């Protein structure tokens, strides 16, 4: 591991998670948010996630998670109006992170549309406004600087998903300058679909962390559960992508359930990574 001692290497590793926590739909019955929030917090806490890309998180869900996990802070803007306090409440693609480990140096949000700097803009054939929130972090353990981009692609528009992948790649190239990059999200596509191929093309500079993992992948090979099955076959739609400045040590799709109850209709994805020196 780059000649580092085991203790030093372990101290400098980051645990990265992507987790669609499911919006607060009262029609979910027993799986409604009030019955799941402790389970979501427990997944983050027990797995020691240093940084989490959340999807479908309403502001009040972020507030409740922050209360359950007091060592964490978050960055994000609402997809509908670009504010931190939307009225009515709506979804964020927030980045949730450990304050004792990480410090935000810069941040931003753009819309996945033809007008990416216009809050609330809806792109191409998308059913809803979609966003990507990003932050530039400094790791307090070693001073390493890296970028984390987090997103949620549209569930209806095939063109919107492909164009969103192209836009994110263009923005990553415009914003970053050789640092380690993490891209997390619910991409609403599988590895055989066009958006995935765009994000992992030779020109993108990114790769699927699952295939880079030095330890064999742990868990199911699918991330959508529908609250019923731990990874419905053929539904791996949540990913962690990294550039060549990120060494992936372990990768898992976490199918924990409590007496048949799941924290969300998506399974969280976890990767333990080591960041190589950036520029």
DSSP the chain: -TT--HHHHHHH-EEEEEEE-----GGGGGGSGGGTHHHHHHHHHHTT-SEEEEESEEHHHHHHHHHHSTTEEEE--BTTTS-SS-SS--EE--EEEETTTEEEEEEEEEESSSSTTSTT---TT-SS--EEEEEEEEETTT--EEEEEEEE--SS-HHHHHHHHHHHHHHHHHH-SS--EEEEEE-S--TTSHHHHHHTSTTT--EEHHHH-SSPPBS-S--B-TTTSSS-TT---EEEEE-TTEEEEEEEE----BTTB-SSSB--EEEEEEEPP--
CB-CB contact of 78 with 118 (8 Å): no
Extract the tokens encoding 49.
Answer: 């996630």
Q: List pLDDT tens digits, range 9-55.
A: 566 899 999 999 999 999 999 999 999 999 999 999 999 999 999 99
Mean pLDDT of 176-191: 98
The reported pTM is 0.96
Mean predicted lDDT score pLDDT of the chain: 95
pLDDT tops 80 at residue 8: no
Sign of CA dihedral 240, 243, 244, 247: negative
* More confidently predicted of 92 and 3: 92
pLDDT at 1: 45
User: What is the spatial distance between Cα 209 and Cα 256, in angstroms, rounded to a whole number?
Assistant: 21
Q: List pLDDT tens digits, range 132-166.
A: 999 999 999 999 999 999 999 999 999 999 999 99
* Cα dist from 208 to 41, 134, 177, 183, 212, whole Å: 26, 18, 20, 10, 7
Q: List pLDDT tens digits, range 71-103.
A: 999 999 999 999 999 999 999 999 999 999 999
pLDDT at 10: 67
**CA neighbor of 17 nearest in space, from 231, 198, 182:** 182
Structural domains of the chain, with CATH: 6-275 (3.60.10.10)
User: How large a percentage of the chain has pLDDT more than 90?
Assistant: 94
198 contact partners, CB below 8 Å, separation of at least 6: 162, 165, 166, 169, 204
């Amino acid at each position: 591991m780059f000649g580092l001692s085991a203790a030093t290497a372990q101290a400098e590793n980051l645990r990265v998670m992507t987790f669609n926590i499911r919006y607060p739909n009262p029609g979910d019955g027993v799986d409604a948010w009030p019955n799941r929030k402790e389970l979501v917090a427990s997944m983050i806490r027990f797995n020691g996630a240093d940084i989490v890309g959340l999807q479908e998180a309403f502001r009040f869900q972020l507030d409740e998670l922050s209360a359950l996990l007091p060592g964490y802070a978050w960055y994000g803007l609402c997809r509908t109006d670009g504010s931190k306090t939307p009225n009515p409440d709506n979804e964020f693609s927030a980045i949730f992170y450990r304050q004792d480990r990480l410090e935000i140096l810069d941040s931003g949000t753009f819309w996945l549309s033809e007008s990416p700097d216009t809050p609330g803009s809806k792109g191409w054939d998308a059913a809803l406004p979609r966003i990507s929130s990003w932050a530039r972090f400094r790791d307090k353990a070693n001073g390493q600087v890296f970028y984390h981009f987090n997103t949620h692609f549209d569930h209806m528009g095939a063109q919107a998903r492909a164009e969103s992948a192209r836009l994110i790649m263009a923005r990553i190239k415009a914003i970053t300058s050789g640092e380690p990059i993490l891209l997390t999200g619910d991409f609403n596509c599988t590895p055989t679909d066009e958006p995935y191929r765009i994000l992992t093309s030779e020109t993108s500079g990114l790769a699927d962390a699952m295939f880079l993992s030095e330890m064999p992948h742990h868990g199911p090979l699918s991330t959508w559960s529908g609250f019923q099955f731990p990874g419905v076959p053929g539904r791996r739609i949540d990913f962690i992508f990294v550039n060549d400045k990120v060494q992936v040590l372990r990768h898992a799709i976490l199918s924990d359930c409590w007496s048949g109850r799941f924290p969300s209709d998506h399974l969280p994805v976890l990767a333990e990574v080591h960041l190589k020196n950036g520029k």
